[in-house]
């Protein structure tokens, strides 16, 4: 096989903390030991799902006959490229087959037929709902020994998909966690000072406070670190800390875009529940919130469940 046709490792990015170790443990104790066929990476926007998926792919792809990483599935579909373009990428990467004029049904049939004889690893990054996953995959495409990794903000995407209904298809959903304080500070200072630059002592206290205010979310740590890269004026550092305290830092376009995706995917009543929580009910108990909503003749239980499944409510 020519080098150009061989799968290559993906760029995981700089200044990531603990990703290799998490990927290794998932592979050893879920994929191999428990023979998992579907691995869901579930969590809020900016938590590092795509980064972990890339690292998993890098550690796995050499062990399989064929591999494919489909990035930004929801964006591709929302931008009008549709399921067909994703199916074509899967056919090309997994089967070395190029198809120009086939429709969605024909491509699905070809994929089922050809993947029936292959052991593959497939990553579908950022799948927003169950219907989207079911339109791309079928259980016939995932033979015993193959693995499909799906990243999503909605736990139900992997939890209830009919792709994984057959008893032999074992499913594991990994709940993405925020970084601990030590790793948070390491990520923040890596972006603020650079990998090889020792942090100046007078910035240490502020770096600790800012890292804590980022709540262990890698995207927020990266944005704040980049804002302060090379900055020597301590007043600017104090301004960033104040913006984090007040929530203004969320206006950054990268963070806002990431969080907005989760909000836009909600139904109208779910959006109202979320806004009530964010604007008026923070710190109140769930029982108190339910009483208030029911006094308005709302039926909030299903909406609350859906917010929890999207990591928007705990």
- Summarised one tens digit per residue, pLDDT across range 86-95 is 999 999 999 9
Q: What are the residues whose beta carbons fall under 8 Å from the beta carbon of 28, sequence distance 6 or more?
A: none
Residue 198 has pLDDT above 70, yes or no: no
Residue 217 has pLDDT above 70, yes or no: yes
Give yes or no for a contact between 111 and 90, defined as CB atoms under 8 angstroms apart.
yes
Show the tokens assigned to 105.
């049904």
- 3-175 maps to which CATH number? 3.40.50.300
Handedness of CA 132, 138, 139, 142 (dihedral sign): negative
Residue 53 has pLDDT above 90, yes or no: yes
pTM of the model: 0.79
Question: Starting at the edge strand that comes first in sequence, how are the strands of the sheet with 38-42 ordered?
Answer: 66-70, 120-124, 147-152, 38-42, 171-175
If you count DSSP H runs as helices and E runs as strands, how many of each does the chain have, helices first?
A: 15, 5
**Among 121-135, 167-181, 247-261, where is mean pLDDT lowest?**
247-261
Residue 260 has pLDDT above 80, yes or no: no
- How distant, in Å, are the alpha carbons of 220, 267, 284 from that of 273? 25, 10, 13
CA dist 237 and 206 (Å) reads: 7
Residue 280 has pLDDT above 70, yes or no: no
Residue 121 has pLDDT above 80, yes or no: yes
Give yes or no for a contact between 163 and 137, defined as CB atoms under 8 angstroms apart.
yes
Residue 16 pLDDT:
79
CA dist 111 and 92 (Å) reads: 10
Binned at pLDDT 50, 70 and 90, residue 3 comes out as very low
Collapse the DSSP code of 240 into the 3-class scheme (helix H, G, I; strand E, B; otherwise coil) and give the result: helix
Supply the DSSP symbol for 15.
S
Identify the CATH assignment for 181-253 out of 3.40.190, 1.20.1740, 1.10.287, 1.10.8: 1.10.8
CA dist 22 and 274 (Å) reads: 31
Handedness of CA 188, 194, 197, 202 (dihedral sign): negative
Supply the DSSP symbol for 46.
T
Q: Percent of the chain, pLDDT > 70?
A: 84
Binned at pLDDT 50, 70 and 90, residue 190 comes out as confident
Binned at pLDDT 50, 70 and 90, residue 2 comes out as very low
Residue 282 pLDDT:
65
Average pLDDT over every residue of 162-166:
70
Binned at pLDDT 50, 70 and 90, residue 191 comes out as confident
CA dist 173 and 151 (Å) reads: 10
Residue 250 pLDDT:
62
**Among 43-57, 61-75, 157-171, 254-268, where is mean pLDDT lowest?**
254-268
pLDDT winner (highest mean) among 52-66, 216-230, 259-273: 52-66
Residue 78 pLDDT:
83
Show the tokens assigned to 57.
């792919």
Supply the DSSP symbol for 282.
T
Residue 51 pLDDT:
93
Tokens 């004889």 belong to 117
CA dist 185 and 232 (Å) reads: 18
Residues of the chain with CATH 1.10.8: 181-253
- What is the average pLDDT value for the chain, to the nearest integer? 82
Give yes or no for a contact between 251 and 215, defined as CB atoms under 8 angstroms apart.
no
Residue 97 has pLDDT above 80, yes or no: yes
Binned at pLDDT 50, 70 and 90, residue 7 comes out as confident
Average pLDDT over every residue of 275-288:
71
CA dist 142 and 126 (Å) reads: 19
- How distant, in Å, are the alpha carbons of 18, 119, 146, 208, 276 from that of 182? 11, 39, 36, 9, 34
Residue 1 pLDDT:
39
């Amino acid at each position: 096989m020519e080098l150009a046709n061989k799968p290559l490792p993906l760029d995981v990015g700089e200044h990531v903390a603990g990703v290799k170790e998490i990927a290794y443990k998932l592979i050893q104790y879920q994929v191999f030991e428990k023979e998992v066929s579907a691995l869901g990476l579930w969590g809020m926007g900016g938590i590092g799902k795509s980064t972990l998926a890339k690292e998993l792919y890098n550690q796995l792809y050499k062990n399989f006959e064929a591999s494919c990483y489909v990035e930004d599935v929801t964006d591709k579909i929302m931008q009008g490229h549709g399921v067909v373009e994703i199916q074509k990428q899967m056919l090309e990467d997994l089967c070395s087959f190029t198809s120009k004029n086939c429709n969605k049904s024909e491509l699905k049939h070809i994929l089922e037929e050809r993947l029936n004889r292959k052991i593959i690893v497939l990553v579908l990054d950022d799948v927003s709902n169950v219907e989207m996953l079911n339109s791309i995959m079928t259980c016939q495409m995932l033979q015993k020994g193959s693995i499909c990794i799906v990243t999503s903000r909605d736990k139900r995407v992997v939890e209830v998909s009919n792709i994984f209904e057959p008893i032999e298809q074992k499913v594991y959903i990994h709940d993405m966690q925020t970084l601990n304080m030590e790793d948070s500070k390491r990520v923040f200072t890596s972006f603020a000072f650079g990998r090889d630059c020792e942090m100046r002592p007078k910035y240490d206290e502020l770096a600790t406070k800012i890292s804590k205010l980022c709540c262990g979310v890698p995207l927020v740590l990266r944005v704040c670190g980049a804002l302060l890269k090379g900055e020597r004026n301590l007043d600017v550092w104090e301004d960033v800390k104040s913006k984090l305290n007040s929530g203004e830092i969320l206006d950054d376009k990268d963070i806002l875009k990431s969080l907005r995706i989760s909000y836009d995917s909600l139904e109208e009543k779910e959006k109202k529940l979320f806004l009530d929580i964010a604007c008026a009910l923070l710190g109140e108990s769930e029982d108190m919130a339910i009483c208030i909503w029911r006094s308005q003749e709302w039926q909030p239980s299903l909406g609350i469940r859906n917010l929890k499944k999207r990591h928007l409510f705990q």
